[in-house]
Structure 1
Amino acid sequence: MNAFAHHRKFLTVVFCLAGLFAFSLPVLATTPKKTTIDVARTTEVTGPVIYLGDVSNITAPDFFKEELARIDLGKSPRAGRMKQLSGERIKASINAMGLKASDMNIQVPARVFVKRAAQELDPSRVEKALGQFLSGFFPKGDFKVKTFSVRGIELYPQGDLSLVFDKRYTPSNTGRLSVHVEVWVDGVKEGRLTATGSLSQFKPVVVAARRLERGQAITPADVTLRDMDVFGLEPNILTAVDQVLGMVMTRTIDKGDCVARDEFKQAPVFEKGAVIKLVAQKNRLSIVTLGVCKEDGYPGQPVTVENLTSGKLVRGLVTKDGTVEVVF
């Protein structure tokens, strides 16, 4: 019993091995004896260099197939463009490998046409990237791209496309927009664009709440704040009402007009001809008398005063409380 079982097991193993050997015979029979290269007449490539493997179907042992596929046939055309290759040049590049003609079967058209695959850049993508770039100058996000256009967009090679904005750019006070943008694909600079347009930025601005006459001192009822596009306005506009209260207008402006810094001056503590207190100090000695101001007096500014006691003209500094201090 045991001997018979061992004999049957041995036969089973032999038949399995024979079956496996027989199954492998068709594979061995189909192994090619020659290297074949069939070059297509038209091909689309993605990389910057045209390789034989890009334009042909190669049948060869794996290690040799890789070497053939890496044969350099020259630079690729620009993205979206086409380039012609000479069939004789392709054959010459293959033959330069030093292979025997009897071991090779090469099929090459007289002319091979190679096109570079491309991707398009949507202007809306540039506009979106521009908004992110400008947010670095306007961290509060209180700006808007009113008008936008872009020049220089082309077809670009396939790959990871990125936009790099000119770091030297600074926003214009007028809101005019003009910035250069580099286009990079897979770490290679592929072009340059110019984005143009205009910006708006709304901020509260001090405006006249009523018509303000020249020489009029400004009160809280004379001015108010209104949201306005600050681009294109005078560079010396004001954004806080307390900056102008008590000031005197230097020209007449209409209701709703912006109150600019150069349209008013500081109100004097006293006007020319006013009788003021004149204080003269020397060491610990202090003399107080009256005087007539010969010009308008402003806090911290020098002014000429006639001493009513002596009739002499003296110079002193105006204080906030309306006196003039003379230091000997």
Structure 2
Amino acid sequence: MGAAKLNIKLICFFIIGIMAFQSVWTVCLFANNDNDENLLNSDIRITIKETNLVKQSQVFLGDISEIQANGFLKEALAKIVVSSSPKPDQIKSFDKKKIISIIRGQRYLPDNIIMISPRRIYVKRLGQVISKQDVRQFVEQYLSQIFKNQDYQLKTFNVRGLETYPQGKLQFCPDSDDMLDKHGKLSFYLDVVIDGNKEDRLSVSGLVALYDNVLHTTRSYAKGETISKETVCLKKENVFEIGRTGIKTFEEISHKILNYSVRKGDILKTNFFADPPLIQKGDIITLVARNNNLEIITSGISKEDGFENELIKVESLSSGKLVRGIVKGKSRVEVAY
């Protein structure tokens, strides 16, 4: 009686052992011939791995197995598509029956194939992480080409849409060469290209400062006055904030008059200044009168300021009469009839 119980226990352990083995490895012999010797002498043997890492968007049989086959059959088997890959850094699983069905569907294969496979196969797709700093470096390089030898700063920077991407050669492709507006605002879309394939589009934004020396006043001036060289100084300013009309050298405003009053410390801009009139009120001028072939030259006093080709009033010193004339140069007016 004791021996019978012992035999039953041994049989149970044996059955459990077989079931445990089959839960991990299953030998699939699919053939039309039931001859065991023919199967054992098979030229094709496929051993499927339980866990696998892949790079591409599709899972090939060669990615998840070790294939023993002769000649071009091994290459053909390796290129059989088993499934689509999961997203980068994600895991996907499928049943061994799916692989058996796919291989059986290859009509060019011989009947005597041995395949060893676990019940489920797991595939993880390798990925690469693109950081905000990676995108910033690309933008910084772009800005360095635009602002060669200039003092600039990427003050704020933001990227939206970053994910984990497939492994491969990475390229960034902006949707436009016009990334900056006149106020220094950075705004554009950036395509993420892996091995020549567009994988994603990122939204990039930020703010750029461009610094340059511009003239400031060290005292106040009234409208119509001329600024002296001793009362200006150079300070760095953000060109995108003040506009590109800031005065950089005193020669740009030398002998010009102010259109507006300015206060101490003000930034000087080109629209603040105008050329002085060729003739100012009270100037002694040469007055020229022409009539046919006759030309009369006399002196006069300007009664108002006048720019070139502008009509002004002049008092003739010889007759005391007021006449209207056209400014033709510094201190020269031609009588208008």
Unaligned 5+ segments in structure 1 are 1-30
The correspondence of residues 44-193 of structure 1 with structure 2, limited to 5 A, is 44-98=53-107, 99=109, 101=111, 103-193=112-202
One-letter identity of the residue aligned with 2:231? D
* 191-200 vs 306-315, greater mean Cα deviation: 306-315
Q: Deviations over 1:50-100 (max 9, x none)?
A: 101111222222432221111012332332233333433221110012345
Q: Are 1:314 and 2:324 an aligned pair? A: yes
Provide the rounded CA distance (Å) in 2 between the counterparts of 1:122 and 1:94: 41
The answer to whether the Cα contact below 8 Å between 1:212 and 1:222 also exists between their aligned partners in 2 is no
Correspondence for 1:231:
240
Note if contact 1:201-1:231 (Cα within 8 Å) is conserved in structure 2: yes
Identical positions, percent: 30
In structure 2, the CA distance between the partners of 1:130 and 1:282, relative to structure 1 (3 Å rule), is: farther
What TM-score, normalized by structure 2, do the two folds share?
0.78
Residue number in structure 2 paired with 1:40: 49
Query: Could you tell me which residue of structure 2 aligns to residue 290 of structure 1?
Result: 299
- Name the counterpart of 2:17: none
Summarize the Cα distance change of 1:301–1:219 in structure 2 as closer, same or farther, 3 Å threshold: farther
1:212 Cα shift?
2.0
CA distances 1:163-210 after superposition (whole Å, capped 9, x unpaired): 223333143222221232222111112222222222122212121122
- Superposed displacement of residue 225, structure 1: 2.3
Partner Cα separation in structure 2 for residue 264 and residue 119 of structure 1: 58
Alpha-carbon distance in structure 2 between the residues aligned to 1:167 and 1:128: 18
Quick check: 1:121–1:154 contact (8 Å CA) kept in 2? yes
On the 8 A contact 1:212/1:254 being kept in 2, the answer is yes
Q: Give the Cα–Cα distance (whole angstroms) in 2 for the partners of residues 223 and 32 of structure 1.
A: 98
- 2:244 corresponds to 1:240: no
Aligned residues: 295
1:259 matched to 2:292:
no
C-alpha distance in 2 between matches for 1:295 and 1:181: 61
1:247·1:265 contact (CA, 8 Å) conserved in 2?
yes
Please give the alpha-carbon distance, in whole angstroms, between the structure 1 residues aligned to 2:94 and 2:79.
Answer: 16
TM-score (norm 1): 0.79
Q: Which residue of 1 aligns with 2:215?
A: 206
Q: What does residue 20 of structure 1 align with?
A: none
Paired residue type of 2:75: E
Cα separation, 1, equivalents of 2:302 and 2:251: 28
Residue 282 of structure 1 deviates from its aligned partner by: 5.9
Specify whether residues 283 and 209 from structure 1 end up closer, same or farther in structure 2 by C-alpha distance, changes over 3 A only.
Answer: farther
Does structure 2 retain, via aligned residues, the 8 Å contact 1:303–1:318?
Answer: no
Contact persistence 1:317–1:325 (CA under 8 A): yes
Corresponding letter in the other structure for 2:229: P
Tell me the distance in 2 between the aligned counterparts of 1:280 and 1:133: 64
Quote how far apart the aligned CAs of 1:46 are.
0.6
Residues 4-58 of structure 1, C-alpha deviations (whole Å, 9 max, x = no match)? xxxxxxxxxxxxxxxxxxxxxxxxxxx9635322323332201122101111222
* Backbone CA RMSD of aligned residues: 2.6
Taking the aligned partners of 1:253 and 1:261, their CA distance within structure 2 comes to 13
- Contact residue 324 and residue 336 of structure 2 kept, 8 A: no
